[in-house]
Amino acid sequence: MRKVLVIGAGKSTAVLIKYFQDKAESENLQIIIGDISIENAQKLANNHPFSEAILLDVFDKNSRENAIQNADIVVSMLPARFHIEVAKDCLKYEKNMVTASYVSEEMQELDSEVRKKGLVFMNEIGLDPGIDHMSAMQVIDRIRNQGGKIILFESFTGGLVAPESDTNLWNYKFTWNPRNVVIAGQGGSAEFLQEGTYKYIPYHKLFRRTEFLEVEGYGRFEAYANRNSLKYQSIYGLEDILTLYRGTIRRVGFSRAWNIFVQLGMTADDYTIENSEHMSYRDFMNSFLPYSPSDSVELKLRHYLKIDQDDIMWDKLLELDLFNPHKKVSISNATPAQILQKILMDKWTLDDGDKDMIVMYHKFGYELNGKRQQIDATMVSIGEDQTYTAMARTVGLPVAMAALRILNKEYTHSGVQIPIKKEIYDPILKELEDFGITFNEIERDYLGYNPDGVKG
Amino acid sequence: MRKVLVIGAGKSTAVLIKYFQDKAESENLQIIIGDISIENAQKLANNHPFSEAILLDVFDKNSRENAIQNADIVVSMLPARFHIEVAKDCLKYEKNMVTASYVSEEMQELDSEVRKKGLVFMNEIGLDPGIDHMSAMQVIDRIRNQGGKIILFESFTGGLVAPESDTNLWNYKFTWNPRNVVIAGQGGSAEFLQEGTYKYIPYHKLFRRTEFLEVEGYGRFEAYANRNSLKYQSIYGLEDILTLYRGTIRRVGFSRAWNIFVQLGMTADDYTIENSEHMSYRDFMNSFLPYSPSDSVELKLRHYLKIDQDDIMWDKLLELDLFNPHKKVSISNATPAQILQKILMDKWTLDDGDKDMIVMYHKFGYELNGKRQQIDATMVSIGEDQTYTAMARTVGLPVAMAALRILNKEYTHSGVQIPIKKEIYDPILKELEDFGITFNEIERDYLGYNPDGVKG
């Protein structure tokens, strides 16, 4: 039996574990699930004959080292900041390792030692980062092999609610960490390239600079810019590219309404509100509006942010009960972002039976034989239920597939790396098709960054 | 001869030095001016018989200790972060010390030792902080002595250009550190109290939440909120106050136009712009606007920020030459704020003969004998020229006056402190009147925070 150690039994691991369990007999696998909560680990082990749940506190050196020493490959599904302890042990005991997280500086620093020992530390092989890297590089390499030159790359991903569960005015529910949604886009300006010009969007304008995306069969979406588009220039070898943009997908109208929270200051996370515990939702709203001896919170808000009387945004605010003078915040020393998160969780939590949806959209512009062309590639994945979600599927499957290939020595390129090599992305993208994760490619006229198709 | 050591011969010290020089004979003073530039120090010494210029690098322990050991009192006019080295030596050699800067945590930590040795470390005794503390506490203590209870305190200060030198559309020129003007308001939300309710304004809304102020003989001004109003609650003993607000004064219309820079992201100081050196002013503007194959920078900006064709703000932008495709930024690896500062300095630098102006405005609301009343107090000071500026006068004179009083043992209350005691503010405010620095008090109906006088 080959031992696969999975550390961290969080939301995203259900599909990953099931993949290993389904292959356990044919691939001769023993799956060891380690978590700080033995109950979580046992739930995922699910009495499966080849699965074992163990208590694993990643900060307890002994239990961590024992588990790693015992394993044939290590999959770390911990929050990103905890990988490094696992990685150091994997180096010490010469184990290969797979994570779905961005390569941290500390992780990158291990590269030369990892190479020396001929180990594979594969990272960024979940959804985003992960499937985005693989699906993009497959098309980019194909165009290059044909002799084409990439001049535009735009890439968008969103974790949304499935159409059949889309029951609120925001067309949004929390299908992942709510906190990350509330503070999304903070911490600096978004930077990207449009037709050879560097562009910068400050946080407070991020949700007013969206663009539309159409996905056949699913209608229209919108996307706002991610902060870090430019780093993909060197990773993908796109030094001469004219347009490079990455963004986050929402349903149309979300960003315009979300911008109300940003403008008010409700997403701020760097100070706490006085007396937050005893404040009502209405008080919370009012703390961002000027005092008036006469005017209502409602009118002050409409005036301040120039919201017309018949604007649909207003109904979105009402749906969240933001003007309710009776509902209490009930969190002491809370930041605005923490309070807003609580208010949103009242309404945006998935109901039993709700399904999630992942949408990914790539645009590739290129020059081939003197002609400018464009390929758009889209992928939509819908969850089964609240355990086997689209998020858990698209994050977990590529991790599991990569781990099995590395265990089987089908992929042996050593070093701290991300999945941008053909030898890893081709077989995994192929296998993902068996799970319904497929990209639909459309050839289009190249318009450059010109979403409205305007002639100059 | 008693030796007054003045460390730092910057812009704000000219009036301070002249005050000591004018008193040198009658008060038996030797003025030692220490600066890292001997030329700066000599310029201020100005061959005055009782003045001496010395080279003093505050990071050179020997020269610093020698100078301090030799002095009878030390005035530090260094940038705030450098005071602490001076303060530690003053403690060691048992010298009293005066600064115009906010009390840092490190400085505050010296308090018990300073008290033990019976020393006076007087801080925050320039303009703002300084004259604001003294003039406010004088009125607050007077009202309290009459049995009144303070329910509102609003305080505003601005460093502006004098009416006779006010020659641009922004009604503003740099009379102080331009960088502080460009990044003003950054680093967190503004917090204050209005009629018993805590209010918060995020940076990107700061310049749209101004209020008007009228100063007799000088017309209308506007003010935007400072970040730190609430800390004055405990300092001034205003625990039960309903309204507490501090702000910065500009001429009307400045903030609305400045908001364009904030909205675009031009005041950001946390990242550098690619290729900034070779970029034109127009390119700089364009980097905050979406790419378009057809539309001009001008139209994109008007559309993005909804600036009407006949809006006066537009002329303010034209005056700064912001759309000029030929003027180069010429600073490498510059942040947006550094580039904006350069563009503004082209136009907002004082001309020879230009004068500056300081405006201070306090509002005191109080209950006395069951009646609510209000006192407004205003002070305007206009500079003589570009050496004896209103800023140098209002910062330097109270520092000098305090130093002389402490030297003469007229003020002996020990500790690390700020000028909120009657024993210091009464004589200094009285003496400031001789230099034209006077407050004009007006009794008004109390309206609470209700600038438009609306009946509820």
Summarised one tens digit per residue, pLDDT across range B231-243 is 889 999 999 999 9
pLDDT at position A451, please? Answer: 61
Chain A residues lying within 8 Å of B243, measured CB to CB: 291
Q: Which of B193, B200, B239, B296 to mutate to test the interface with A (most CBs of A within 10 A)?
A: B200
Report DSSP letters for A32-59, one per residue.
EEEESSHHHHHHHHTT-TTEEEEE--TT
Contact between A336 and B200 using a beta-carbon 8 Å cutoff: yes
Q: And the tokens for A77? A: 């599904």
Determine contact: B42 vs chain A, CB below 8 A: no
Q: What is the pLDDT of residues A355-408, one digit of tens each?
A: 999 999 999 999 999 999 999 999 999 999 999 999 999 999 999 999 999 999
pLDDT at position A454, please? Answer: 58
Determine contact: B147 vs chain A, CB below 8 A: no
Contact between A268 and B189 using a beta-carbon 8 Å cutoff: yes
Distance from the B359 Cα atom to the nearest Cα atom in chain A, whole angstroms: 25
- Which residues pair with residue A212 across a beta bridge? A222
pLDDT at position A228, please? Answer: 86
Confidence check: pLDDT of B422 > 50: yes
pLDDT at position B19, please? Answer: 97
Chain B residues lying within 8 Å of A244, measured CB to CB: none
Contact between B189 and A264 using a beta-carbon 8 Å cutoff: no
Domains and CATH numbers, chain A: 2-123 (3.40.50.720)
Distance CA(B418)–CA(B111), nearest Å, equals: 12
Question: What are φ and ψ of residue A183, in 5° steps?
Answer: -100, 10
Determine contact: A115 vs chain B, CB below 8 A: no
Determine contact: A264 vs chain B, CB below 8 A: yes
Nearest to A291 among B265, B288, B449 (CB): B449
Of residues B381, B390, B379, B424, the one with CA closest to residue B98: B424
Would you call A23 exposed, middle or buried from its count of C-beta atoms within 10 A (0-12, 13-18, 19+)?
Answer: middle
Mean pLDDT of all residues in A122-127: 98
Mean pLDDT of all residues in A220-233: 93
Distance from the A396 Cα atom to the nearest Cα atom in chain B, whole angstroms: 35
Distance from the B292 Cα atom to the nearest Cα atom in chain A, whole angstroms: 7
Distance CA(B120)–CA(B96), nearest Å, equals: 5
pLDDT at position A449, please? Answer: 72
Exposure string for B205-244, b = 16+ CB within 10 A, e = fewer: bbbebbbebebeebeebbbbbbbebbebeeebebeebbbb
Chain B residues lying within 8 Å of A189, measured CB to CB: 265, 268, 270-271
Question: What are φ and ψ of residue B52, in 5° steps?
Answer: -140, 135
Q: What is the pLDDT of residues A198-217, one digit of tens each?
A: 999 999 999 999 999 999 99
Confidence check: pLDDT of A159 > 60: yes
Mean pLDDT of all residues in A303-313: 95
Mean pLDDT of all residues in B151-179: 96
The percent of residues above 70 in pLDDT, for chain A, comes to 98
Helical pair B390-407 and B14-27, crossing angle rounded to 10 deg: 30
Mean pLDDT of all residues in A220-228: 95
Q: Report strand pairing: A243-251 vs A219-225.
A: antiparallel
Q: What's the one-letter identity of residue A298?
A: E
Q: Which of B291, B372, B449 to mutate to test the interface with A (most CBs of A within 10 A)?
A: B291
Determine contact: B96 vs chain A, CB below 8 A: no
Contact between B291 and A449 using a beta-carbon 8 Å cutoff: yes
Closest residue in chain A to residue B211, using alpha carbons only: A290
Place of tokens 């009147």: B433
Chain A residues lying within 8 Å of B195, measured CB to CB: 291, 293
pLDDT at position A11, please? Answer: 80
Confidence check: pLDDT of A450 > 70: no
Distance CA(A12)–CA(A15), nearest Å, equals: 7
Determine contact: B274 vs chain A, CB below 8 A: yes
Question: What are φ and ψ of residue B295, in 5° steps?
Answer: -90, 150
Going by pLDDT thresholds of 50, 70 and 90, the confidence category of residue A452 is: low
Closest residue in chain A to residue B453, using alpha carbons only: A293
Confidence check: pLDDT of A169 > 80: yes
Going by pLDDT thresholds of 50, 70 and 90, the confidence category of residue B451 is: low
Contact between B456 and A294 using a beta-carbon 8 Å cutoff: yes
Confidence check: pLDDT of B169 > 90: yes
pLDDT at position B448, please? Answer: 76
Name which residue leads in pLDDT, A445 or A203: A203
Determine contact: A452 vs chain B, CB below 8 A: no
Q: What is the pLDDT of residues B333-357, one digit of tens each?
A: 999 999 999 999 999 999 999 999 9
Going by pLDDT thresholds of 50, 70 and 90, the confidence category of residue A232 is: confident
Closest residue in chain A to residue B225, using alpha carbons only: A290
Name which residue leads in pLDDT, A387 or B448: A387
pLDDT at position B447, please? Answer: 78
Confidence check: pLDDT of A287 > 80: yes
Q: Is residue A222 within 8 Å of A254, Cβ to Cβ?
A: yes
Contact between B197 and A291 using a beta-carbon 8 Å cutoff: yes
Nearest to A265 among B201, B450, B456 (CB): B201
Mean pLDDT of all residues in B78-84: 93
Chain B residues lying within 8 Å of A243, measured CB to CB: 291
pLDDT at position B228, please? Answer: 86
